[in-house]
Amino acid sequence: MRYRQIADELRDLIATGAYPPGSTLPSQAELLATFNTSTATLASATRILSDEGLISRNVVRGRLVVQDLRPVYVDLALAIPPGNGQGPWQTACQRAGRTGTMHATSVTRVPADRDVAQALQISIGTTVVRRDRRAALDDQDVMLDTAYYPLAVVEDTPVAGTSTVVGGVWAALIAAGILDPVTARVRELIGSRTATKDEVEALRLRAGASVLTAERVTRDGEARPVELLHRVANERRVRFKADNMPLTQLP
């Protein structure tokens, strides 16, 4: 369809820097002339880019403004951020000069299914705390987290509560004496796949877009799993990295 072609062309121009972050797109009249199209078709094209978070309308100037699409790099080696009340995501955004928030959307107690039970090394049906969270970048959701914790381990900690855990879950588990940052170990598996319909809607992606995935298991000093995290991220807005990792010798 013509409006999708126009959206693709504008998206490419934004990606290549023809319209850098903070700049305005040409006026409606200029865009209509450039693409030789109708007002309705142009509106449909720009609506796609707006839904994707690429552009927004400046109320004062009445022009379409290109959003800052620089990705935020989440450092997998960053276990505990500085003691400023911010979690790893907020810290990563701050280091990138951006505004990031992490908020809990749902905290429930559910029986562990087979996969969760296997990852946490507990019996199927054991009660776990499930925390669903959304990470936002500049007020747009860019990452979805679903984490599981054995209730018997976290019952008397903020992790079992219904509010966002200030400073991050790891910091709360360390404060509760459940994790020791010296002896705790983390396994992180990184991948990618096509976004599901729900993820397309939640992250404002195009149908068929790819997402980054991560599965993390955190173990205490006795190798007991205390956290299983499934993470899905908009691959254009979030990157995973590992900085300053020590060299280790294989056994």
Is 156 exposed, middle or buried (CB count within 10 Å of its CB: 0-12, 13-18, 19+)? exposed
Q: Are 89 and 143 in contact (CB under 8 A)?
A: yes
**How sure is the predictor about 20, in pLDDT bands with cuts at 50, 70 and 90?**
confident
The dihedral formed by the CA atoms of 28, 29, 31 and 32, expressed in degrees to the nearest 10 = 110
Most confident of 31-35, 116-120, 178-182: 116-120
Per DSSP bridges, beta strands 238-241 and 72-75 are parallel
Same CATH fold, 72-241 and 2-66?
no
Bigger pLDDT: 232 vs 72: 232
pLDDT over 70 (residue 58): no
Q: What angle do CA 113, 119, 123 make, to 5 degrees?
A: 50
Residue 217 tokens, joined: 């298991």
Average pLDDT score over residue span 10-34? 88
Which amino acid is residue 68, in one-letter code?
Answer: D
Residue 230 carries which DSSP code? E
Average pLDDT for the chain: 88
pLDDT confidence of 50, banded at 50, 70, 90? confident
Q: Give yes or no for residue 84 having a pLDDT over 70.
A: no
The phi, psi pair for 151, rounded to 5°, reads: -60, -40
- Contact yes or no for 143/235 (Cβ under 8 A): no
User: Can you tell me the distance from the alpha carbon of 101 to that of 8, in angstroms, rounded to the nearest whole number?
Assistant: 30
104-139, pLDDT tens digit by residue?
Answer: 999 999 999 999 999 999 999 999 999 999 999 877
CATH 3.40.630.30 fits 2-66, yes or no: no
The confidence score (pLDDT) of residue 182 equals: 87
Q: Which of 12-21, 53-62, 188-197 has maximum average pLDDT?
A: 188-197
Confidence bin at 17 (pLDDT 50/70/90): confident
Domain positions in the chain: 2-66, 72-241
Instruction: Tally helices (H) and strands (E) across the chain.
Output: 8, 10
pTM for the full model?
0.75
- CATH superfamily placement of domain 72-241: Chorismate lyase-like (3.40.1410.10)
Contact 31, 42 (CB under 8 A): yes
Q: Judging by beta carbons within 10 Å of its beta carbon (0-12, 13-18, 19+), is residue 85 exposed, middle or buried?
A: exposed
Compute the distance between CA of residue 217 and CA of residue 225 in angstroms, rounded to an integer: 7
Interatomic CA distance for residues 184 and 122, integer angstroms: 19
Beta strands in 44-99 (DSSP E): 55-57, 64-66, 72-75
Mean pLDDT of 58-82: 70
